[in-house]
Amino acid sequence: MFVLGIETSCDDTAAAVLLDGRIILSNLVSSQDDVHSPYGGVVPELASRQHVKNILPIVDQAIERAGIGLKDLGGFAVTYGPGLTGSLLVGLSFVKGASYRWGIPYVGVNHLEAHLLAIFLEREVPFPYIALLASGGHTLLYLVRDFSDYLYLGGTRDDAAGEAYDKVAKMMGLGYPGGRVIDQMAKDGDPRAIRFPRARMKSGSYDFSFSGIKTAVWHYLRTHGDAQKIDIAASFQEAVVDMLIAPTMRATKNLSVERVVLTGGVSANSRLRIKMMERAKELGVEAYFPSPALCTDNGAMIALAGHHLLKRGRKDALGLNADADLTL
Ligand code: KG4
Ligand code: ZN
């Protein structure tokens, strides 16, 4: 079955065609970074206007590159939450219209579920596994027991990990989004140059907190300036990476789970990948990472999650609404 996946929950317009829930025939993303960069963050109204401009060309290209026609599609899959309401509505309305016009079924997909399953686009992972979803909007830890069977373990109490990267990048005048730039700069810096604090939750909690590190960097910059940019970047990153790894590994140990899957934009981070691998090896846990293009928002993961829903016979009605606060 060919499924067309569409993602417009935040600032990327993405479309992909997936065959049989595994084979990516096309996977295109139109980024809006240039539009939002002057503001140091996503401007919701600008994001939805850009989606309106981008959606048709991106979908056309996804279908063309896949070498199929609309009539070959077994279904559409589209993100209906969580995310920015205006952005979600563009993708959802587009898919509803196409579904009605062409008589092809569609399903609404939970963006978080799609991230948790993205690894299956590249390899099989036996259930159960601990999934760490770290992106610009979310930092969440789940026990994934099966398709559609997710146990929430913890989440951030304030900023998401990617948000901390983006805010620190803004303070340092590095532009938006900041994750990739800081990752790159940190490669030349000393991660032990500055000892930024690590938030610790009481034992038994799998929560995260990134507002403290953000404030600590702000104080540092105010008192010392930013002459040592590479060391600040490396030291900040080391603290974030440590704070992501600690609850994740605690969960594998406490719940006796032997596999951990990382996902979301921040899991493209090179230091997180290296350190998580090392820690996992020490604990006899297997760590899995999707390729960076499948960690960040993409249409293929939406098509994948949609494929499983369609296979189970789900078909959404035209009354389905966008849900900005959708949970899993
Ligand atoms: O998953 P994603 O594409 O979008 C959502 O937020 O849903 O994640 C984007 C976030 C941004 O905050 C960006 O700065 C961060 O992921 N990011 C990174 C890296 N690449 C992207 N953070 C750290 N290191 C990276 N290499
Ligand atoms: Zn995302």
Does 306 contact ligand 1 (Cβ within 6 A)? no
Separation between Cα atoms, residue 140 and residue 152, nearest integer Å: 8
User: Quick check: 67 pLDDT over 80?
Assistant: yes
Does 82 contact ligand 1 (Cβ within 6 A)? no
State both tokens at 99.
């579904």
Specify the pLDDT at position 311.
Answer: 96
Torsion angles phi and psi, residue 173, rounded to 5: 70, 35
User: Quick check: 77 pLDDT over 90?
Assistant: yes
Specify the pLDDT at position 40.
Answer: 79
Ligand 1 closest atom vs CA 83: 7
Q: How many residues does the chain have?
A: 328
In the structure, what pLDDT confidence band is assigned to residue 39 with cuts at 50, 70 and 90? confident
Segment 265-302, tens digit of pLDDT: 999 999 999 999 999 999 999 999 999 999 999 999 99
Does 167 contact ligand 1 (Cβ within 6 A)? no
Separation between Cα atoms, residue 316 and residue 100, nearest integer Å: 11
Cα of 269 vs centre of ligand 1, distance in Å, is 8
User: Quick check: 198 pLDDT over 90?
Assistant: yes
State both tokens at 147.
């398709």
Does 137 contact ligand 1 (Cβ within 6 A)? yes
Please state, rounded to an integer, the average pLDDT across all residues of the chain: 96
In the structure, what pLDDT confidence band is assigned to residue 57 with cuts at 50, 70 and 90? very high
Q: Percent of the chain, pLDDT > 70?
A: 100
User: Quick check: 203 pLDDT over 80?
Assistant: no
Segment 151-181, tens digit of pLDDT: 999 999 999 999 999 999 999 999 888 999 9
Encode 108-143: b = buried (16+ Cβ within 10 Å), e = exposed.
Answer: bbbbbbbbbbbbbbeeebeebbbbbbbbbbbbbbbb
3-state secondary structure of 191: coil
What are the residues whose beta carbons fall under 8 Å from the beta carbon of 312, sequence distance 6 or more?
A: none
What is the pTM for the complete model shown? 0.94
Does 180 contact ligand 1 (Cβ within 6 A)? yes
Helices (H), the chain: 33-36, 44-66, 85-102, 111-117, 161-171, 179-186, 211-224, 229-254, 270-283, 292-295, 299-311
Specify the pLDDT at position 176.
Answer: 87
Specify the pLDDT at position 202.
Answer: 81
User: Quick check: 81 pLDDT over 80?
Assistant: yes
Cα of 227 vs centre of ligand 2, distance in Å, is 33
User: Quick check: 227 pLDDT over 90?
Assistant: no
Cα of 296 vs centre of ligand 2, distance in Å, is 6
Cα of 266 vs centre of ligand 2, distance in Å, is 10
Does 266 contact ligand 1 (Cβ within 6 A)? yes
Ligand 1 mutation target, pool 165, 168, 172, 182, most atoms within 8 A of CB? 165
